[in-house]
């Protein structure tokens, strides 16, 4: 019996400084894409907001500067070269970016681009962390609620190369609903980019747990929903903010198959067994046979809202 397999790569990025031009950053992405193709990767996952520094980490006073961080279309003139490279290499990719719509709405978005360079699926981040207003005294900001709207596309899936793929972004990974909804829609592989600070100014007690909790959330989601997860970081010290790395490929067993070892540009590649999803869903988490949501007690009080990233 032939096993369905796919070679995937997490293309971790080191810091993207404000001084970097879009072509400079794009050249780094293309270099990782080319390296992935050399290693036989068929799908490459880039980080959240891969094209720019993560600008919600500071207050942007200048409107022209703020707008420069968003893309109004994909491929845009500034990103066309990446799409052309994917077409030439016959490699698909997931790209996180800041999206500005034609009617001036703003989202933290990820796009799935197939090996012909066409955008075949798009997701807009739902679980926005952080704050709307500046937090006085904080060493850095997290103003996602200021610069992005809550995603309006829901958690969708896309079939590609006989694989059902779902997308998520950063803070989404902390919420059980992310993986469960995607699993219920048939997702076998979840691709997730993140920009996560190494410290949390308003919850310093968790600082030593950041790397652990990053992997914990993705491993739990993968295991409890019998799916593969590829998590890709933007890492290192970017505009004064230290960000974790730990880009990772996780199996439906919850096991880490491969992980990044640096805080710079690094490629993490693995051949994954997609039929492992079927085996775990048949023999461990068979939703149809064992899941009984009609017997769950109603939640009468909401959980206190947290603002951690």
Nearest to 34 by CA among 83, 91, 105: 91
* Side-chain-side CA neighbours of residue 237 (13 Å): 1
Q: If pLDDT is split at 50, 70 and 90, which confidence band does 201 have?
A: confident
pTM (2 d.p.): 0.95
d(CA 245, CA 54): 14
Instruction: Kindly report, residue by residue over 33-81, the tens digit of the pLDDT.
Output: 999 999 999 999 999 999 999 999 999 999 999 999 999 999 999 999 9
- Residue 91 and residue 115 in contact, taking contact as beta carbons nearer than 8 Å: yes
pLDDT by residue (tens digit) across 137-190?
A: 999 999 999 999 999 999 999 999 999 999 999 999 999 999 999 999 999 999
Which one of the listed residues 71, 99, 125, 144 is annotated catalytic? 125
Distance, in Å, from the CA atom of 58 to the CA atom of 17, rounded to the nearest integer, reads 13
Catalytic annotation, pick one of 71, 170, 188, 238: 170
DSSP 159: E
Distance CA 106, CA 52 (A): 15
Please give the pLDDT value at position 308. 47
> For residue 202, what pLDDT band results from cuts at 50, 70 and 90?
confident
Q: Which of 271, 269, 248, 272 has its CA nearest to residue 260?
A: 248
Q: In what order do the strands lie in the sheet with 228-233?
A: 157-160, 163-169, 189-194, 228-233, 248-250, 256-259
Q: What does the mean pLDDT of the chain come to?
A: 95
Q: Is the pLDDT at 307 greater than 60, yes or no?
A: no
Q: Are 82 and 33 in contact (CB under 8 A)?
A: yes
Cβ atoms 166, 192 nearer than 8 A = no
State the Cα–Cα distance between residues 274 and 283, nearest whole angstrom: 15
| pLDDT class of 300 with cuts at 50, 70, 90 | low
What value does the mean pLDDT take over residues 18-33? 97
Q: How many other β-carbons are positioned within 10 Å of the β-carbon of residue 46?
A: 28
Is 234 tagged catalytic? no
pLDDT at 309 over 70: no
CATH T-level assignment (fold) for domain 5-291: Nitrilase/N-carbamoyl-D-aminoacid amidohydrolase (3.60.110)
Instruction: Locate 177 and state its tokens.
Output: 């609903």
3-state helix vs strand vs coil in the chain, percent to 5: 30, 25, 45
**Which pair of structure tokens corresponds to residue 2?**
């032939």
For residue 96, what are the CA distances in angstroms to 29, 51, 107, 136, 169? 12, 8, 11, 29, 8
Give the Cα separation of 246 and 259 in Å (integer): 6
| Structural element, H or E, at residue 68 | helix 63-68
In contact, 48 and 193? CB cutoff 8 Å: yes
CA atoms within 13 A on the CB side of 14: 10
Q: Which of 224, 223, 227, 220 is nearest to 275 (CA)?
A: 227
Confirm if 140 and 115 have CB atoms less than 8 A apart.
no
Active site residue 31: no
Query: Is 18 known to be catalytic?
Result: no
pLDDT at 306: 55
Helix (H) or strand (E) holding 107: strand 106-113
């Amino acid at each position: 019996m032939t096993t369905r397999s796919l070679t995937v790569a997490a293309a971790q990025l080191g810091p993207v400084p404000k001084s970097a031009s879009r072509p400079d950053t794009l050249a780094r992405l293309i270099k990782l894409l080319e390296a992935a193709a050399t290693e036989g990767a068929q799908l490459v996952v880039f980080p959240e907001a891969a094209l720019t520094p993560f600008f919600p980490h500071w207050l942007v006073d200048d409107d022209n500067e703020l707008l420069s961080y968003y893309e109004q279309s994909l491929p845009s003139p500034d990103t066309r070269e990446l799409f052309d490279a994917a077409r030439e290499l016959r490699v698909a990719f997931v790209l996180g970016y800041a999206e500005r719509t034609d009617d001036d709405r703003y989202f933290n978005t990820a796009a799935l681009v197939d090996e012909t360079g066409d955008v075949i699926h798009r997701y807009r981040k739902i679980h926005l962390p952080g704050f709307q207003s500046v937090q006085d005294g904080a060493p850095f900001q997290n103003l996602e609620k200021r610069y992005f709207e809550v995603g309006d596309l829901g958690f969708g899936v896309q079939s590609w190369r006989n694989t059902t793929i779902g997308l998520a972004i950063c803070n989404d990974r902390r919420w059980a609903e992310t993986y469960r909804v995607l699993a219920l829609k048939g997702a076998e592989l979840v691709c997730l980019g993140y920009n996560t600070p190494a410290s949390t100014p308003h919850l310093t007690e968790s600082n030593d747990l950041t790397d652990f909790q990053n992997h914990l959330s993705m491993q739990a989601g993968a295991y409890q929903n019998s799916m593969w997860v590829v998590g890709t970081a933007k890492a290192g010290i970017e505009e004064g903010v230290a960000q974790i790395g730990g880009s990772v490929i996780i199996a439906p067993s919850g096991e880490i198959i491969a992980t990044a070892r640096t805080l710079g540009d690094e490629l993490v590649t693995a051949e994954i067994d997609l039929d492992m999803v079927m085996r775990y869903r048949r023999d461990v988490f068979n939703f149809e046979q064992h899941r009984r949501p009609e017997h769950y007690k109603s939640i009468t009080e909401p959980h206190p809202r947290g603002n951690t990233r």
